């Protein structure tokens, strides 16, 4: 059965209300939690695979393409058992169906991480 649900707002029953457009535009359109060392996906939504490009560099491949390449990506990674603060840079070389991310320490050391998470937001 196919269909469309149209709504102005969603209420949780206690008076908290959010607009329908916030739900549609504010929800992650894709996300992945993966082991960057073994290139193994632990869990994901709308991600078909991760491709290891090189040390600390992966291409995230999307199942359903984004409407354009102007989406937002947020991510985090773990460095040496939480011994250092890290960033997961991206997106780089973004297309509607994939983008690259890099795991780096604050001192700009690129590394393979055991834990990485990435989320994609798009309208």
**φ/ψ (deg, to 5) at 18:** -135, 145
CB atoms within 10 A of CB 79: 21
Who has greater pLDDT, 6 or 102? 102
pLDDT (0 to 100) of residue 83: 46
pLDDT (0 to 100) of residue 85: 47
The CB-side HSE value for 89 (13 A sphere, CA atoms) comes to 13
Total number of domains in the chain:
1
Domain that holds residue 78: 28-121
Who has greater pLDDT, 70 or 8? 70
Separation of alpha carbons 99 and 47, rounded Å: 11
Domain assignment present for 20: no
Domain assignment present for 3: no
pLDDT (0 to 100) of residue 29: 94
Nearest C-alpha neighbor of 94 from the set 60, 63, 64, 121 = 60
Entry pTM: 0.81
User: Coil, strand, or helix at residue 20?
Assistant: helix
Domain assignment present for 93: yes
């Amino acid at each position: 059965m196919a269909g469309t649900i149209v709504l102005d707002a969603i209420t949780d029953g206690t008076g908290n209300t959010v607009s329908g457009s916030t739900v549609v535009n504010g929800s992650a359109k894709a996300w992945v939690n993966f082991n960057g060392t073994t290139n193994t996906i632990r869990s994901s939504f709308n991600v078909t695979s991760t491709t290891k490009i090189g040390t600390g560099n992966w291409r995230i491949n999307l199942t359903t393409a984004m409407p354009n390449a102007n989406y937002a990506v947020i991510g985090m990674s773990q460095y040496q058992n939480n011994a250092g603060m890290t960033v997961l840079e991206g997106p780089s070389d973004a297309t509607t169906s994939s983008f690259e991310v890099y795991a780096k320490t604050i001192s700009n050391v690129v590394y393979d991480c055991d834990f990485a998470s990435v989320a994609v937001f798009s309208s």
